[in-house]
Structure 1
Amino acid sequence: MNLSERFDEASLLELKQGFLYDADAESYICLLCGERFEEGVVYPADSRFLEARKYAAYHVSSVHGSMLDYYLSLDKKATGLTDLQKQLIAAFASGMSDAATVQLTGGGSASTIRNHRFALKEKAKQAKLFLAIMEMMDSKVPGGAKFVPIHHTAPQVDERYALTQDEYAALLSKYLPHGLEGPLTGLPRKQKHKVALLRHIAAGFEKGIRYEEREINEILMRFSDEEYVTLRRHLIDYGFLGREDDGRAYWLNI
């Protein structure tokens, strides 16, 4: 399960705390970097020793900082929040007064700020109901008809990512008839098909590892020894891989 899938599967509490529990692996997993903390192991933290769950919380706060700050840094396509709404939420969370918030946002009045706060509360109520409705809908949908999770680093979420589990499996069988390790029968022209293949190929990289270009090329050549450069470019363009400006290092970005 990649990071995007972990975000999709996480409960509201897990999203707030920044980590979840994987019962199969008996480990706590950081939602932001994927680092695991095995249950039953004691981890050193400053001058203390913490069991896995408490260390996971320590890791999130010490390495990544505030989860609220992280979510507020995401694009509107991820949160649905405008820049003004994110600015207001940060101000409200800090305990800033309405008068100070007016100065921060550069307009309106204390009454306007109170109206914004009320509107955000109403948005939260609607979100809870919508989430309940979607969960009830998903419980009735067959597994293969459920959509494949969209990675949070996708540059633009559109119909290219409207891919069910059944469609995803069928596309992999079509373009990788000799097995999931490759080679490809060719690069698809349809964007939706391309996204499916790139998602699968990206799953072959490990989170937290910085790859040299040579290492990236070796992995991609398993899929196509003629189009590996094109595959590398697409993985970056579609947000699956990150890259240093000078091209010296690459990493999994999902």
Structure 2
Amino acid sequence: MNTKTMENDIYKDFKDLSVDELINGYVNNPKTGEFSCIFCGETFENGIIYPNAEKLFTAEKAVSEHVKEEHGGSFNVLINLDKQICGLSEIQKSILTHLYERDDNKTICEAMNISAATVRTHKFNLQKAKREAKILLALIQTAEEDPLLSNTKPREKTSSNEEEQKSMFEVNSLHPFFTQYRFK
């Protein structure tokens, strides 16, 4: 299957996949008892034993091995996604590939023809993006799923809303991590 076709197959329900499903490269459908590869759609039925190179695998182990053998693992497929989908530049992809391969800074410097300081900067920026992505995911999930918000009416706009917003930050009613800081 070519990369373009594979990308089209992935994106049909890409937005509905969890981070763990993206990492694993497969989904579990508990209703049908099937495990399906998210990259090509191959399905493995729970309760059937699958032979693989003189070993016998459960459906979940079989789909996991399939992702490794047929697609080179989920990292390989995800790192090769278009920038429009993953948001990573070619340099970021290269750095991540070297990190995935457990290359040290010296090897990365030589392979990419960049300085050690540049490698450290790229690593720092990737860690920063990781922290930001976690917070973004938490915010979006909370906004979509918070049971406290689902039963409330939208707030009416009044002239005192700006004062209410200001006082919320002064009280430090945010996550406990932020309570040590004053937002005045």
In the superposition, the TM-score normalised over structure 2's length comes to 0.70
Aligned length: 140
Within the candidate set 40, 43, 57, 2:47 is matched to 40
Higher relative contact order (CA 8 A, sep 6+): 1
Within the candidate set 99, 123, 130, 1:117 is matched to 123
Structure number with larger C-alpha Rg: 2
Measured on the aligned residues, the alpha-carbon RMSD in Å equals 1.9
Aligned residue in 2 for 1:169: none
1:125, distance to aligned residue in structure 2 (A)? 0.6
| 1:64-79 equivalent positions in 2, closer than 5 A | 64-79=71-86
Q: Which runs of 5+ in 2 are unaligned?
A: 1-8, 151-184
Aligned residue in 1 for 2:19: 12
Distance in 1, matches of 2:24 and 2:59, equals 14
Q: Does 1:84 align with 2:87?
A: no
Q: Which runs of 4+ in 1 moved over 6 A?
A: none
Map Cα deviations across residues 15-39 of structure 1 (whole Å, 9 max, x no partner): 1110110112111111101111111
Distance in 1, matches of 2:10 and 2:31, equals 16
Conservation of the 8 A alpha-carbon contact between 1:43 and 1:55: yes
For the residue of structure 1 that corresponds to 2:88, the secondary structure is: coil
Distance in 2, matches of 1:96 and 1:48, equals 32
Conservation of the 8 A alpha-carbon contact between 1:37 and 1:52: yes
Distance in 2, matches of 1:8 and 1:36, equals 20
Distance in 2, matches of 1:6 and 1:31, equals 9
Map Cα deviations across residues 47-101 of structure 1 (whole Å, 9 max, x no partner): 1111111111011111111211111111111111000000011011112121221
Map Cα deviations across residues 214-253 of structure 1 (whole Å, 9 max, x no partner): xxxxxxxxxxxxxxxxxxxxxxxxxxxxxxxxxxxxxxxx
Change (3 A) 1:86 1:3: closer
Distance in 1, matches of 2:46 and 2:15, equals 23
Within the candidate set 58, 61, 64, 1:54 is matched to 61
Change (3 A) 1:19 1:41: same
Conservation of the 8 A alpha-carbon contact between 1:28 and 1:52: yes
Conservation of the 8 A alpha-carbon contact between 1:6 and 1:31: no
- Larger proportion of helix: 2
Conservation of the 8 A alpha-carbon contact between 1:21 and 1:28: yes
The letter of the residue matching 1:139 is E
1:139, distance to aligned residue in structure 2 (A)? 2.8
| 1:14-33 equivalent positions in 2, closer than 5 A | 14-33=21-40
Conservation of the 8 A alpha-carbon contact between 1:22 and 1:28: yes
Conservation of the 8 A alpha-carbon contact between 1:20 and 1:30: yes
Distance in 1, matches of 2:117 and 2:69, equals 37
Change (3 A) 1:38 1:84: same
Change (3 A) 1:45 1:6: farther
Aligned-pair identity in percent equals 27
1:5, distance to aligned residue in structure 2 (A)? 4.3
| 1:222-241 equivalent positions in 2, closer than 5 A | none
